[in-house]
Amino acid sequence: MIDLPDDTFRACQSWLAHLAGERRLSPKTLEAYGRDARQFFTFLTDHLGGPPTLDAIARLKPMDLRAFLAARRAAGVTGRSLMRQLAALRSFARHLERAGLGTASAFVAMRAPKVSKGLPRPLTAEAARAVADADSRAGEAREGWILARDAAVMTLLYGCGLRISEALGLKGTDVKALAAGSLIVTGKGGKMREVPVLPQVARAVADYVAACPYQLKPDGPLFVGARGGPLSPRIIQLAMERLRGALGLPASATPHALRHSFASHLLGRGGDLRAIQELLGHASLSTTQIYTKVDATRLLAAYDAAHPRA
């Protein structure tokens, strides 16, 4: 890490504090934005011949920013990551502008990098149910409560459309809400939403709680690891990897694909798009509308496979 000039360092810390406090960005987003800024400052140190002061940043031109993005792309960074980095730098520049420490004109003038938009790849309903079934891993040499725990998490992802961070962020106090059939979830940016809980989901969580050898504290994590600490998302990812092998599923079958499956299957059965948006916690309806394309793609595939004139 380079030694930044005092004014740049203080401005960066003030910006991150603003994002955490007033904008209420998630810790992971803050970490990514901070990393983006450090990479930008490191590039500028070579590009400008020394650590960047606020005056030097204010004098940057669009060509300087294009040089940074070109260097990142040459390092193998994807278009989506470049788009996030540019968004982070624009946010920092606007923060400087509001504080009277610079201008955001060069950053605003930059076009966002092109991003190839791939469609979500949901599982079939049969595969999603198998993934959420503890019996699918009955042959593994693992304790029964761990298999029940993993199945409960998978069931929450598919049955409630939760993100893995949301499922693992549940507390012991949420057991009663799950049993009652309605759950308050804290999503991205600290936004809260209410999701209905199917009886099958509540039953899977209850089976895990009954089998868990640790006492689950009301203010502690609902899902715990083998030693009783908070459960890491990586453990669920590894469980899904084993299920892919056991069930013959493609590499696109990830924990997040269960959330895609939740939305796609609801839409395929006539679910209202606006209601699905609220269930998923999407800020914009356009984010949810991508599932209509998934449904149309499947319809065309079925047509091509079955229609005699296809």
Least Cα distance to 119 among 297, 270, 310, 278 occurs for: 297
Q: Tell me how many degrees the CA angle 160-274-163 measures, rounded to the nearest 5.
A: 30
Backbone torsions φ then ψ of 123, nearest 5 degrees:
-85, 165
Of 72, 137, 260, 282, catalytic: 282
User: How many angstroms separate the CA atoms of 122 and 111, rounded?
Assistant: 32
- Any catalytic annotation for residue 114? no
Of 72, 84, 163, 265, catalytic: 163
Of 72, 137, 149, 259, catalytic: 259
Query: Length of the chain, please?
Result: 310
User: How many angstroms separate the CA atoms of 90 and 217, rounded?
Assistant: 42
Residues 123, 112: contact at Cβ < 8 Å?
A: no
- Any catalytic annotation for residue 121? no
Q: Helix, strand, coil shares of the chain as percentages rounded to 5?
A: 65, 5, 35
Structure tokens at 133: 């079934």
Of 38, 59, 188, 298, catalytic: 188
Residues 253, 244: contact at Cβ < 8 Å?
A: yes
- Any catalytic annotation for residue 259? yes
- Any catalytic annotation for residue 188? yes
Residues 36, 93: contact at Cβ < 8 Å?
A: no
Of 142, 244, 256, 298, catalytic: 256
- Any catalytic annotation for residue 234? no
- Any catalytic annotation for residue 291? yes
Catalytic residues: 163, 188, 256, 259, 282, 291
